[in-house]
């Protein structure tokens, strides 16, 4: 059975004895067969997390309603989705093409199971390349009024019924109003030097310090700049022989892979965000 014919249940609740038995017993009584289950306990926060996959039953509407009602009665926060229900993704991009085009190529080949109704940029440069791939490209220039530009973007995302926003090297800081519209639904990518080498030319700063590792971090966006819950990270070695351009190339490669991994995990409901952290089920 392919993954799109499965449903995913995610659960968060205070830890107590018997949770696994209660949930598995509930699924059994509803006639549901567990194909995969994973769990985690944050002992410090006393929180229990679980992700369960099971085949979608024929009477989905009845079963899902009964399941949700029972879990609410057990004091559990839960989410339930059929993986065949494709999330709608909006991609925001600036002038750097590597992450945005990589996401679109992974989508076109079926690696990322979602719909991409719109790609929006504050620059027109990548419009022809994105349109050539068959995607709708929208140029929203800032033109001196960033607040109005952001409102236009939010309006377009709402019109397209977007569930997830990907900042594929979108080189603008989002306002609290934007973040509030998509809580834990905006994924960003940046180099992992922050906060050590913040500001302009971070790779040149790192080169001058003689670093031996470069990396990339993908995270959910919050109002605190680059401090949202981390989803995925990656690192690779550099040496004294590497130039600034070598380090930038290695960093771009990592950014592609790490961003794609974070997006895949979100699309497959593998992430539970809480506080400043995430549980990511592999």
The pLDDT tens digits for 102-128 are: 999 999 999 999 999 999 999 999 999
Q: Confidence class of residue 225 from pLDDT cuts 50, 70 and 90?
A: confident
CATH code for the domain of 257 = 3.40.50.170
Per annotation, catalytic residue among 42, 226, 246, 253: 226
Tokens read off for 189: 């990518």
215 with 238, same domain: the answer is yes
Are the beta carbons of 186 and 266 closer than 8 angstroms? no
| This prediction's pTM | 0.95
CATH code for the domain of 50 = 3.30.70.260
Choose the final residue of a domain: 82, 102, 136. Answer: 82
Report the number of distinct structural domains present in the chain. Answer: 2
67 with 96, same domain: the answer is no
75 with 56, same domain: the answer is yes
96 with 60, same domain: the answer is no
What is the structure's pLDDT at 199?
78
What is the structure's pLDDT at 2?
58
Average pLDDT over residues 50-65: 97
Average pLDDT over residues 229-241: 96
29 with 113, same domain: the answer is no
50 with 133, same domain: the answer is no
- In percent, the amount of the chain with pLDDT more than 70 equals 98
48 with 125, same domain: the answer is no
Choose the final residue of a domain: 82, 108, 123. Answer: 82
113 with 93, same domain: the answer is yes
Choose the final residue of a domain: 48, 82, 116. Answer: 82
117 with 224, same domain: the answer is yes
16 with 123, same domain: the answer is no
The partner residues of 164 in beta bridges, in order of sequence, read 89
pLDDT tens for 122-144 read 999 999 999 999 999 999 999 88
Name the residue range of residue 58's domain: 3-82
115 with 188, same domain: the answer is yes
40 with 175, same domain: the answer is no
pLDDT tens for 167-222 read 999 999 999 999 999 999 999 999 887 778 877 888 999 999 999 999 999 999 99
Are the beta carbons of 68 and 90 closer than 8 angstroms? no
Q: What is the 3-state secondary structure (H, E, C) of 41-90?
A: EECCCCEEEEEEEEECCCCHHHHHHHHHHHHHHCCCEEEEEECCCCCEEE
Residue 163 bears catalytic tag: no
């Amino acid at each position: 059975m392919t993954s799109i014919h499965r449903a995913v249940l995610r659960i968060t609740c205070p830890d107590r004895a018997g949770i696994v038995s209660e949930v598995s017993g509930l699924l059994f009584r509803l006639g549901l067969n567990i194909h995969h289950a994973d769990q985690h306990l944050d002992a410090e926060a006393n929180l229990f997390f679980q992700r369960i996959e099971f085949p979608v039953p024929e009477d989905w509407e009845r079963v899902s309603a009964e399941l949700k009602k029972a879990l609410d009665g057990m004091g559990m926060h839960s989410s339930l989705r059929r993986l065949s229900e494709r999330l709608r993704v909006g991609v925001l991009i600036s002038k750097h093409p590597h992450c945005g085009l990589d996401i679109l190529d992974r989508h076109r080949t079926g690696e990322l199971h979602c719909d991409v109704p719109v790609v929006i940029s504050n620059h027109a440069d990548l419009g022809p390349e994105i349109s050539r791939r068959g995607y709708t490209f929208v140029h929203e220039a800032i033109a001196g009024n960033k607040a109005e530009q952001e409102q236009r973007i939010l309006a377009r995302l709402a019109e397209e019924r977007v569930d997830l926003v990907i900042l594929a090297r979108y080189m603008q800081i989002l306002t609290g109003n934007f973040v509030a519209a998509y809580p834990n639904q905006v994924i960003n990518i940046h180099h992992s030097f922050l906060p050590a080498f913040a500001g302009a030319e971070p790779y040149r700063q790192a080169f001058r310090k003689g670093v031996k590792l470069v990396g990339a971090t993908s995270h959910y966006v919050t109002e605190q700049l680059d401090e949202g819950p981390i989803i995925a990270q990656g690192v690779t070695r550099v040496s004294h022989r590497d130039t600034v351009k070598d380090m930038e190339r290695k960093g771009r490669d990592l950014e592609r892979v790490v961003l794609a991994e974070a997006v895949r995990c979100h699309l497959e409901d593998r992430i539970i965000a809480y506080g400043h952290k995430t549980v990511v089920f592999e």
